[in-house]
Amino acid sequence: MSLVVGVDIGNSTTEACAAHIGQDGKITYLSGALGRTSGVKGTTENVPGVVEVVRLALARAGCDPAEVQAVLVNEATPVVSGLAMETISETIITESTMIGHNPGTPGGVGLGVGVTVAFPNLPRCAAGSAVICVVGAGVDFEDAAAGINAAIARGVRVTGVVVHADDANLIANRLGEPVPVVDEVTLVDKVPLGMPAAVEVAEQGRTIRTLSNAYGIATVFELDSEQTRMIAPVARALVGNRSAVVVRTPAGDITDRRIPAGTLILIGEKTKREVEMDAGAEEIMSTLRRVRPLVDAVGDPGTHVGGMLARVRDTMSELTAMPVDTVRVQDVLAVDTFVPQRITGGLAGEFALENAVALAAMVRTSKGPMELLAARLREALGTEVLIAGVEADMALLGALTTPGAGRPVAILDLGGGSTDAAVTTDGAEVHSVHLAGAGDLVTSLINSELGLENLELAEEIKKFPLAKAESFFHIRMEDGTVRFFDKPLPADAFSRVVVLTDSGIHPIPTRHGVEKIRQVRRSAKHRVFVVNALRALEQVAPDGNIRHIIGFVVVLGGSALDFEIPDMIAEAVAEFGIVSGTGNVRGSEGPRNAVATGLVAGYALARANGTAVRG
């Protein structure tokens, strides 16, 4: 009987599986363990992480490390994923044209349209003219209300009010005729005067309808189609607000500058094609299909895409001491996204959502560093270390330890940096692929699309359900149900959207509602994992046809623990007549530990067959 430990070094996680293998090849699994991968997968930086999980697995098994006959590691060729978000266009509004902020308590309700007039000039306005009164700093609310009432009495149509102080309701309540009042406009001096403007305030609990709609703004200001196109980002930035002001500045002040998007050059084994980044994710991915198998990808120097691919290459070359020109991009995944961009010229730091394309790229290098890593591990562990198999093949063997799983089988390994797939038929032949884009990309998309600038929080939003803290003692979950608490919730959670993590209730500092955050979360998972699952299965399927995959798909990896992703994949592949389910490796490990377990199973098999394992 011999004691072996299988070790899977992943992009995020290093997993181990300890087992006894009998003379007859019979395996007795003893324990499993996992820890964070130290450094970049497949490099000598991994040594401390591997040592740690091997110790942990042996301690759990109650085994003496001196008895270990071999540590089996996967052929972990290093993979570096890079991520670039390329904004397709940038909108710059040169004049201050909008105030889109959300004061806590705007006054009045409705839409007012007129020419902007400073409060002191109100007495000079002609009867019958429609005006928006701009009340600057230092004007008392009673004086403001009295002045506006006097103008209205003279026949001036004051249709809306913009105020510096937090006085909207104090003014609105004193007006003879109710009009919309937007307050807390800190930069009130910058509001252009003598210009057509519109003020909109929605009823409490509602959002504005006219100024958040490009055609609404076009109607108010009688814009032609070209002008409407230019004003569109303003409308987009105002979506979801309870109040807004839009001032129409003279023609020519609004400019729309398009930054040329870079070109991605995809070099395949037989053909080479170029695709513009601004063509969008779908076009990029369909171009990739036409050049597959990919040999390399490059971008125009001086563009985002060029810079990003160069960065990935540099990082890889640094880590593995390979010359830069030998590093090849092996796969890319393009995803449509949007990034909040500050609008130049907004008076309250408004953002518009700009379309962008995110690109995850993966680079695979030679096996050289792996041999070096094995040598270092031999020193550190004081045992034999064998490079014992290709990851996807091992994952298949591990997946087969799931109760109820049998050949033919396909696996989808959803990790942090890559999505891997493999199929095996009744025979021993295995087809596998290794694709860019997985859990970490989902986290990045959530982070950027919600403008969080906090990857840890984005990771929590990905993994855990949302709720709204409606009182100090109850929350409404995203599915509509209510949960009560005996102890008051943290003060900073009150009236906030929160994420219910396993380490407590964390507020999300954003003005997005539960529904919006949920939609971004689900859509990010869909754009990465459903796309990659189909792409991966298509590449391993007989004749490239997913329908020819007979049998079951076992979903594995850290991202298979997700509360939504396995269902999304099951739904997408059901269309092709495939049944997919989350793996339960060795009947106990859930979707984790497949590769580590497979390494042990493969070793036992090889020994039973008398075949050697590479040392």
Which does residue 416 bind out of ligand ADP, Mg ion, none, counting CB within 5 to 8 angstroms by kind? ligand ADP
Of 35, 299, 417, 583, which lies in the binding site for ligand ADP, with binding defined by CB under 6 A?
A: 417
Contact 46, 387 (CB under 8 A): no
Contact 345, 96 (CB under 8 A): yes
Which does residue 306 bind out of Mg ion, ligand ADP, none, counting CB within 5 to 8 angstroms by kind? none
Binding part of the chain for ligand ADP, among 171-179, 285-293, 296-304, 410-418 by CB under 6 A, reads: 410-418
Give whichever of 201 and 411 is closer to Mg ion, judged by the CB atom: 411
Instruction: Give the start-end residues of each E strand in 50-179.
Output: 68-73, 79-87, 90-93, 98-99, 110-118, 130-135, 157-163
Residue partners of 88: CB distance under 8 A and separation at least 6? 261, 277, 278, 354, 355, 356, 357
Which does residue 558 bind out of Mg ion, ligand ADP, none, counting CB within 5 to 8 angstroms by kind? ligand ADP
Give whichever of 130 and 500 is closer to ligand ADP, judged by the CB atom: 500
Rounded to whole angstroms, how far apart are CA atoms 157 and 170? Answer: 20
Q: With binding defined as CB under 5 A, does residue 389 bind Mg ion?
A: no
Which does residue 345 bind out of Mg ion, ligand ADP, none, counting CB within 5 to 8 angstroms by kind? none
Smallest separation (angstroms) from ligand ADP to the CB of 404: 22
Q: With binding defined as CB under 6 A, does residue 42 bind ligand ADP?
A: no
Q: With binding defined as CB under 5 A, does residue 415 bind Mg ion?
A: yes
Q: Of 458, 460, 438, which Cα lies nearest the Cα of 449?
A: 458
Smallest separation (angstroms) from ligand ADP to the CB of 373: 15
Rounded to whole angstroms, how far apart are CA atoms 396 and 10? Answer: 16
> What would you report as the CA-atom Rg of the chain, rounded to the nearest whole angstrom?
30
Q: With binding defined as CB under 6 A, does residue 345 bind ligand ADP?
A: no
Contact 497, 510 (CB under 8 A): yes
Give whichever of 415 and 437 is closer to Mg ion, judged by the CB atom: 415
Smallest separation (angstroms) from ligand ADP to the CB of 559: 4
**Pattern 10-49, Mg ion, x by CB under 5 A:** x---------------------------------------
Which does residue 100 bind out of Mg ion, ligand ADP, none, counting CB within 5 to 8 angstroms by kind? none
DSSP 10-39: -SSEEEEEEEEE-TTS-EEEEEEEEEEPPS
Using omega within 30 degrees of 0 as the cis cutoff, is the peptide bond preceding 488 cis?
Answer: no
Task: Scan for tokens 């004081």, then name that residue.
Answer: 382
Q: What Cα–Cα distance (Å) separates residue 573 from each residue in 108, 276, 487, 532, 567? A: 52, 30, 44, 12, 10
Q: With binding defined as CB under 6 A, does residue 416 bind ligand ADP?
A: yes
Give whichever of 502 and 543 is closer to ligand ADP, judged by the CB atom: 502
Q: With binding defined as CB under 6 A, does residue 557 bind ligand ADP?
A: yes
Tokens read off for 53: 């999980």
Q: With binding defined as CB under 6 A, does residue 49 bind ligand ADP?
A: no
Restricted to residues 420-459, the positions that interact with ligand ADP (CB under 6 A) are 439-440, 459
Q: With binding defined as CB under 6 A, does residue 419 bind ligand ADP?
A: no
Q: Which residue is nearest to Mg ion (CB)?
A: 10
DSSP letter (8 states) at residue 171: H
The total number of residues shown for the chain amounts to: 615
Q: With binding defined as CB under 6 A, does residue 32 bind ligand ADP?
A: no
Of 187, 267, 285, 561, which lies in the binding site for ligand ADP, with binding defined by CB under 6 A?
A: 561
Rounded to whole angstroms, how far apart are CA atoms 396 and 598? Answer: 7
Helix or strand run (H / E) with residue 329: strand 328-342
Give whichever of 114 and 439 is closer to ligand ADP, judged by the CB atom: 439
**Pattern 166-185, ligand ADP, x by CB under 6 A:** --------------------
Q: With binding defined as CB under 6 A, does residue 598 bind ligand ADP?
A: no
Q: With binding defined as CB under 5 A, does residue 398 bind Mg ion?
A: no
Q: With binding defined as CB under 5 A, does residue 147 bind Mg ion?
A: no
Smallest separation (angstroms) from Mg ion to the CB of 528: 16
Give the number of C-alpha atoms closer than 13 A to the C-alpha of residue 452, restricted to the C-beta side: 24
Give whichever of 10 and 103 is closer to ligand ADP, judged by the CB atom: 10
Sheet containing strand 552-556, edge to edge, reads 430-436, 418-424, 409-414, 552-556, 579-582
Q: With binding defined as CB under 6 A, does residue 559 bind ligand ADP?
A: yes
Rounded to whole angstroms, how far apart are CA atoms 277 and 284? Answer: 7
Residue 183 one-letter amino acid? D
Instruction: Give the start-end residues of each E strand in 181-250.
Output: 181-182, 196-201, 243-247
Give whichever of 184 and 420 is closer to ligand ADP, judged by the CB atom: 420
Q: With binding defined as CB under 6 A, does residue 415 bind ligand ADP?
A: yes
Of 558, 566, 598, 602, which lies in the binding site for ligand ADP, with binding defined by CB under 6 A?
A: 558
- Where do contacts with Mg ion occur on this chain (CB under 5 A)? 10, 415
Which positions lie near ligand ADP, rule CB under 6 A? Answer: 10-13, 37, 415-417, 439-440, 459, 462-463, 557-559, 561-562
